[in-house]
Amino acid sequence: MEKYIYFSDHIFSKGKKDIYDKEENRIGSLDLKSAFTSSVNVENKKGEVVIEGKFPSFSNKWAVSLSDGNELGQVKSSLSFFTKRYKYKTSTEQYEIESPALSREYIIYDKYKKEAATFKKVNGLFEAAAFELRNNSDSLLTEELIAVVMGVNAIQKRRNNAASPAT
Tens of each residue's pLDDT in the chain, 167 residues: 578 999 987 655 678 899 999 999 999 999 987 656 679 999 999 999 999 999 998 888 999 999 999 999 999 999 888 889 999 999 999 999 999 888 899 999 999 999 999 999 887 555 677 899 999 988 899 999 999 999 999 998 887 776 656 55
- Torsional sign, CA 150, 55, 157, 77: negative
| pLDDT score for 32 | 87
Task: Give CA–CA dist 112/5, Å, rounded.
Answer: 24
- For the entire predicted model, the pTM comes to 0.90
| pLDDT score for 129 | 76
104 Cβ partners below 8 Å, 6+ apart? 120, 121, 122
| pLDDT score for 167 | 54
| pLDDT score for 27 | 95
139 Cβ partners below 8 Å, 6+ apart? 93, 110, 116
Closest C-alpha to 29, from 56, 2, 57, 48: 48
| pLDDT score for 34 | 66
| pLDDT score for 127 | 63
Task: Give CA–CA dist 160/2, Å, rounded.
Answer: 32
